[in-house]
Amino acid sequence: MKALRFVGVGLPPVVEDVPVPVPGPGEVLVRIGGAGVCHSDLHVLDHGAQGAGSKPAFTLGHENAGWVAAWGSGVQGLREGDPVAVYGYWGCGHCRACQSSMENYCENADAVPQAGGGFGLDGGMAEYMLVPSPRLLVPLGTLDPREAAPLTDAALTPYHAIKRALPLLTPDANVVVIGVGGLGHMAVQLLRVMCGSRIVAVDLDDGRLEHARQLGADLVVNSRNGAQAAETIRTFCGPRRAALVLDFVGLQPTLDLAVQLVGRNSQLTVVGVGGGVLQLSQMTLPFGCSVSTPLWGSRAELLEVIALAQYGRIHVDAHYFSIEDGPRVLQDMRAGKVHGRSVLVP
């Protein structure tokens, strides 16, 4: 089968022919419907995958959905052809966090080799993908796996980040979303259905900002000029400023902007792994502002996100490509030319 492979740090990804995997005891083979292309794939290409069990070369793709194709001994309760989302963070499955479905915060993460498919193990940018346990498969109901694939990260990650901050998101509060790309365009929609707060969207790309406005942002601001953007947003928010700033970029300029936007008793949530550094002391942030660096979301939260999509309350702006298109799509993402979410369809 064709697969888009990581072959070394700093090297471009390569389309290769690899054997269709055979599920061993406890494992499930999924026929891939779609695999979302995430900005984190670029981080993997640039820096490699960190899991203890990382393979030197592996198939990319951690945002996957498809149909159950086969399973190994000991697996029960599945039917061939069941549409499923693949939960992406593969924890130990035993610790308290994993037992309560928050594998994204697995307590044995340092010791457990399963970083996840696409993060050191074979992912879903291929015709088939091996999933180590049926517990990592979430039923898709009536959703088409091609459309649903990005829900497993592009929607799950912002959903989790927003849910953590919900007590702050009263109707008289303001939320700022920095970076309205794959994750950010879902964040704007999720905020619309999860709270009544006013939404400010920030980006460098006017097309994406216009899209964010259509999706429900109350104010859109281009942050080309950081000082001017801060002033515009502060005027809009008033003296309370923002109760929540979600930074889906994480570069130095976006963190610097975020610091100027948070109010007292607020939350600054950094999701983007841009490598910017936040200065933290008693005096660098407004009093009561907490900083959060959430990772992905829980399995239960993925069920909730799937329900929102199934009821038509959120919608991925998906654009479809073949596995062979993968290297070009990743290049376009690096150049800032990708809108919404690109999905590779084998």
Binding site for ligand NAD (CB under 6 A): 38-40, 43, 153, 157, 178-184, 202-205, 208, 223, 248-251, 253-254, 271-274, 295-296, 333, 336
Q: Which does 92 bind (CB under 5 to 8 A by kind): Zn ion, ligand NAD, none?
A: Zn ion
Task: Find which of ligand NAD, Zn ion, none residue 146 binds, CB within 5 to 8 Å per kind.
Answer: none
Minimal CB distance to Zn ion: which residue?
Answer: 106
Residues 6+ apart with CB under 8 A from 6: 13, 44, 45, 48, 49, 57, 58, 59, 60
By the 8 A CB rule, do 216 and 239 touch? no
We find the least distance from the C-beta atom of residue 224 to Zn ion, in angstroms, to be 43
272 binds, among ligand NAD, Zn ion, none (CB under 5 to 8 A by kind): ligand NAD
234 burial level (CB within 10 Å; 0-12, 13-18, 19+): middle
Which structure tokens are listed for 115?
């970083």
Contacts of Zn ion in 247-266 (CB under 5 A): none
CB of 6 to ligand NAD, least distance (A): 15
Strands 198-203 vs 83-86: parallel, antiparallel or unpaired: unpaired
Our CB check for ligand NAD shows the closer of 20 and 42 to be 42
Tokens describing residue 280:
């933290």
Q: Which long-range contacts (CB under 8 A, 24 or more apart) does 297-301 make?
A: 297/104, 297/156, 297/157, 297/159, 297/160, 298/100, 298/101, 298/102, 298/103, 298/104, 298/160, 299/87, 299/101, 299/102, 299/103, 299/135, 299/136, 299/138, 300/101, 301/101, 301/156, 301/159, 301/160, 301/163
* Whether 276 contacts 252, CB under 8 Å: yes
CB of 98 to Zn ion, least distance (A): 3
Q: Nearer Cβ to ligand NAD, position 124 or 272? A: 272
Alpha carbon 321 to its chain centroid, in Å, reads 19
Q: Does 136 bind Zn ion (CB under 5 A)?
A: no
Residue 145 interacts with, from Zn ion, ligand NAD, none (CB under 5-8 Å by kind): none
With CB under 5 to 8 Å by kind, the binding choice for 21 among ligand NAD, Zn ion, none is: none
Q: Which of ligand NAD, Zn ion, none is residue 180 near (CB under 5 to 8 Å by kind)?
A: ligand NAD
C-beta of residue 30 within 8 angstroms of C-beta of residue 70: no
Binding mask 58-97 for Zn ion (x = CB under 5 A): ---------------------------------xx--x--
Total residues binding Zn ion (CB under 5 A) = 6
Interacting partner of 157 out of Zn ion, ligand NAD, none (Cβ under 5 to 8 A depending on kind): ligand NAD
* Residue ranges in contact with Zn ion by CB under 5 A: 91-92, 95, 98, 106, 108
